Structure 1
């Protein structure tokens, strides 16, 4: 899918007089640039220009004659992202080529070793040749979605249900523990959304990349190709989203949950045509939010007697076998392997990332060896793909990311809960916490918080609810508890 020109529908449907009233244009040669509209005209016809090249042009045209250092242009064009200088050169080549296709005048001068300078005269007077009839409709904005690097196995029902919900609801949040597959499912849903008639625009933002939650609105504006002139980027975002259907995918929001929730609620109120697909380890708790708690992949029970074909009917087993054969083409899933593979999948709690990481060890240790290693500290230290984000390179790193979102009391409660080997009740928790570190109300609040943050699983129906720590989480919390006791 190709990058399309970044021009909002408001700009495309407006008359020239409306655009003039909205902002002061920058005029040079046969060109007219509307910075807030993200629109460049040449003799009244929109010029196709990518978002980053347009941002470079806007920056330089607003400071004509001034030498702008390369480092500053990179910081403006790729905020909060580290890129090489060759990226800047490539965008500058694209910008110059687009300008040269319409006029052979000199607009941008290169100052060797330092930066660039916009050398053409710039004025705010509209060219009289441009009239309302020359303002052609702009194309819709479509941001390339990241590629899904692994096959999405066993998630067809959830993807189908979420795609249906997205047609009628404006805020859908996918929750679940780390590594369960929230991002992969969200991307699969967004890809289906692309194919619908509602897909006038799609924007993807990975909130895990932001250094401070307060930068989320600006990061979203940057992903939209918006160079905001407001102190509050939400004003510009609401302005851009207001006129057209738009899907915004916000991934990995748990570390910025409060600012994401307020940003989403603000834009939902001001831009009636946009909708949001969010992934987070806890809900936003926003008005109108539809929450899909993504379950673990299907795992056979311990007492099941299965054939190879029956075992492959369980999504966790199917993913495990797929991952093993990918890393070791010689592996053949045989009847003698069924019980071992099912046991491994149960120990990994049907977690997609854990299965992917553990399966790579079969080549070196075999199924029996892997099963034994999962009962040791090696479970947490197993490394994943080299190209994965840092928090996905081991189960320890994955849980570190989640653990850091907990309050001190939630961390202490999680460590206490690691002493339970199986499911437990609220009554059991109160009975075991004999040291009086938490009273009843505190215990209830902390358990609820751990459930909300996908660290503790609530199960059962009716009046009596049971709780369970996933095995990997229990091992992690037990290790934290042991370290605390040793240091104390």
Structure 2
């Protein structure tokens, strides 16, 4: 059987009663979209494009997990998941064959059904309208699959977490999984550039292909136009317009029964139907761990650093002698994907030791990322400033005062750290609630005791803000060393 074009985005491939749409990353069973994990779909694409040939396990891994250390068991898990998805068809056992000690082969007949450009214009509702950016990620597969399932029953899901934790990346991958599941398509709206709540309805209408006539109320027109649509809308970066986003989301969900909303924000929108999914930093090796190379590469934070380093330097190799330094680096960066990517970019100019030295004087906050990245993610400093600008003066003073607490601290520690501030107990509690809601401070409960946690980059930022405030005489908080 001849090879099929591996990246032919305009092709539709048929085997049995299934149709595979490579560009839309969509698998149909008799016209019905199937829920399939991102990795499993990648593997299916690799096998189908070489239908009739044996593809080695190493070749599959190199295509699906490029420049990343992955154990063979990961491949077997996703092959099993793929077989379960295809298991709705009795002939599925004939699709993927395991050739002992050689690899896998897709042995069913694959037919090139048509090219989209030969069938006229594709309906607008079927066109993917998500950014064409890479959304390759580490350590989020299980979460993405869970959110993909939840969107089938939940009409509003909000991903919340600190800046740079990867909310947009995860949300885009989840949205990609929904292409073909909604009759009127999937739409994406990046709200970061909006400054006025009044612009929100007009912006959303534009992203959904709805023209608002002059002199007509944008929100009312949007609600009327959306009433009968079955669509998923990804609203990205809601935090600076939180009240307006919450109100419009509530109105849309009431007006359009077929609408689902996936949002990203540094705090929850608190709508009636909202399911809030916190997004934690990537798992890093624990403090005091002494790991060999293979063990360290099982941690998503370490894998991300290595992948980004190899993307910049094709000959990059992580040596056993470097493991302890990289483990320390990932831990001190709190497993924050943005921080890890920015650190990996510094390998162009210095060693791991040099990057670690930057963490001691906090200059890493100003390290710049890709030129094409959004302004708020150009550096950790910009990302933190974005959140800081959302705080009122009292909340800023509390954040600065808490910067000299330990990594984990209690309510009693909060009282002691903020004892010098002229605020009431209720005001202090309100400020803490706000800092937690904006993901500037984490919260966890252990045996009935509440513990707070501040990421190292947030602490470094808050300390610098405290120094600035002391120098300018804005208020008197002890200078932090």
TM above 0.5, yes or no, is yes
Cα distance in 2 for residues equivalent to 1:387 and 1:442 = 41
Please name the residue that 1:398 is paired with.
383
Say whether the 8 Å CA contact 1:199–1:247 is kept in structure 2. Answer: no
Listed one character per residue, the Cα deviations across residues 362-395 of structure 1 (whole Å, up to 9, x for unaligned) are: 2321111111111113111111111111111111
1:225 is paired with a residue whose SS is coil
Distance 1:390 1:431 in 2: 36
Q: Following superposition of structure 1 onto structure 2, how do residues 7-156 of structure 1 map, counting pairs within 5 Å? A: 140=125, 142-149=127-134, 151-156=136-141
Q: 1:243 to 1:393 in 2, by over 3 A?
A: same
Checking the alignment, whether the CA contact within 8 Å between 2:126 and 2:183 is kept in structure 1 is no
TM-score by length of 1: 0.70
1:221-300 maps to which residues of 2 (within 5 A)? 221-229=205-213, 231-300=216-285
For the residue of structure 2 that corresponds to 1:162, the secondary structure is: helix
- State the match for 1:216 in structure 2: 200
Q: What's 1:108 paired with?
A: none
Q: Which residue of 2 aligns with 1:177?
A: 162
Of 186, 203, 222, 1:202 maps to 186
* Aligned residues of 2:398 and 2:418 also touching (Cα < 8 A): no
Query: What's the secondary structure of 2:355's corresponding residue?
Result: helix
8 Å contact 1:148–1:187 — kept in the other structure? Answer: no
My pick for the range that moved more, 275-284 or 434-443, is 434-443
Alignment of 1:362-373 (within 5 A): 362-373=347-358
1:412 alignment counterpart: 397
In the TM superposition, what whole-angstrom CA distance separates every residue of 1:420-458 from its partner, at most 9, and x where no partner exists?
Answer: 132111111112323242222222221111010010011
Q: State the aligned residue count.
A: 353
Of the three residues 409, 427, 430, the one matched with 1:424 is 409
Distance 1:343 1:349 in 2: 10
Farther-moved stretch of structure 1 (307-316 vs 321-330): 321-330
Shift of 1:239: 2.2
**Partner Cα separation in structure 2 for residue 328 and residue 260 of structure 1:** 41
> How far 1:248 moved relative to its partner?
0.7
Point out 4+ residue stretches in structure 1 off by more than 4 angstroms: none
Q: Distance in 2 between matches of 1:271 and 1:434?
A: 50
> Which secondary structure does the structure 1 equivalent of 2:314 belong to?
coil
Contact residue 316 and residue 345 of structure 1 kept, 8 A = yes
Contact 1:380 1:395 in 2 (8 A): yes
**TM-score between the two structures when normalised by the length of structure 2:** 0.71
**1:304–1:377 Cα change, 3 Å:** closer
Q: Is the CA contact 2:246–2:270 (under 8 Å) kept in the aligned structure 1?
A: yes
Aligned residue for 1:208, secondary structure, equals coil
- Counterpart of 1:346 in structure 2 is 331
Q: State the structure with more CA Rg.
A: 1
1:474 equivalent in structure 2 = 459
Secondary structure at 1:167's aligned position in 2?
A: coil
Alignment partner of 1:418: what SS?
helix
Q: Which whole-Å deviations, capped at 9, do the CAs of 1:310-358 have from their partners, x for residues lacking one?
A: 1111100100111111112222111111111111111111111111111
SS of aligned partner of 2:260? strand
CA contact (8 A) 1:142 1:203 kept: no
Would you say the 8 A contact 1:143–1:204 is kept in 2?
no
- Matching of residue 384 in structure 1 with residue 369 in structure 2: yes
* Residue 258 (structure 1) shift: 0.6
Contact kept, 8 Å, 1:300 with 1:346, in 2: the verdict is yes
The answer for the alignment partner of 1:450 in structure 2 is 435
Q: Structure 1: any 5+ residue segments left out of the alignment?
A: 3-136
Kept in 2, the 8 Å contact 1:250–1:279? The answer is yes
- Number of the residue aligned with 1:318: 303
Match of 2:89 in 1: none
Asked if structure 2 preserves the Cα contact closer than 8 Å seen for 1:381 and 1:395, the reply is yes
Q: Name the SS of the counterpart of 1:374 in structure 2.
A: helix
Aligned-pair RMSD on alpha carbons?
A: 1.8
427-436 or 363-372, which moves further after superposition?
427-436
